Structure 1
């Protein structure tokens, strides 16, 4: 799973928050206070498409972009990749569980049951 740079993450946040696919201009508007050219947003969207994180469809003259997977699916894949790279998965899981707050450990226990 490819990692995301700061601007890529911001663009993905806008796309994940949107109920429907967005144009590059709508993504640019969704980035709010960032002063970015539309060409910069298009470049980032192109990189995300090459990383298979975003799908593009043509609608008339405009392209619309949508995330290929949900934020939760993306984070779960990152976690799986991190575990796959560990020589001792049990030790990594134990360290992870020891680092999360008790309420999240309880939620995890509930999910496992």
Structure 2
């Protein structure tokens, strides 16, 4: 079985985030590839890093002819939150009926999560005011 088939959706991205978190320092794609092992192709690792960068889960800086990547924000948990939020935005944008999607989402929340969402929305609204 190939590594690709054995990985859950988003599994490689989670592994990359965990690798960078454990390292605690910026790493190039080749360094991440070596750390992850498992016969991953360089281009596969570079694609995962590029996608995480596009989702704003990683920051990068030039290191020679390559980029060195590090976690954005407050570490692995924040990087995972950024990736999840990006996915949620994509799913919401893909839906034809945003009202129905959001109504079903909110309807499926437990009371504590619904209260948290209300608090976050209220905070966001206050921040948007001049």
TM-score band w.r.t. shorter chain: 0.5 to 0.7
CA contact (8 A) 1:28 1:41 kept: no
Residue 110 of structure 1 and its aligned partner are, at CA, apart by 1.0
TM-score, length basis structure 1: 0.62
Match of 2:38 among 36, 39, 42: 36
Aligned residue pairs total 103
Contact 1:16 1:71 in 2 (8 A): no
Q: How big is the alpha-carbon RMSD for the aligned residues of Structure 1 and Structure 2?
A: 3.4
Aligned equivalents of 1:63, 1:41: Cα separation in 2? 17
2:120 aligns with: 111
Q: Which residue of 1 aligns with 2:63?
A: 58
| Alignment gaps of 5+ in structure 1 | none
TM-score by length of 2: 0.56
Per-residue displacement from partner, 1:48-79 (whole Å, max 9, x unpaired)? Answer: 245463646325x9863235784333322221
**Residue 21 of structure 1, aligned match among 18, 22, 26:** 26
In the TM superposition, residue 84 of structure 1 has moved relative to its aligned partner by: 1.0
Whole-angstrom distance in 2 between the partners of 1:6 and 1:52: 12
If each structure's helix is expressed as a fraction of its own residues, which one has the higher value? 2
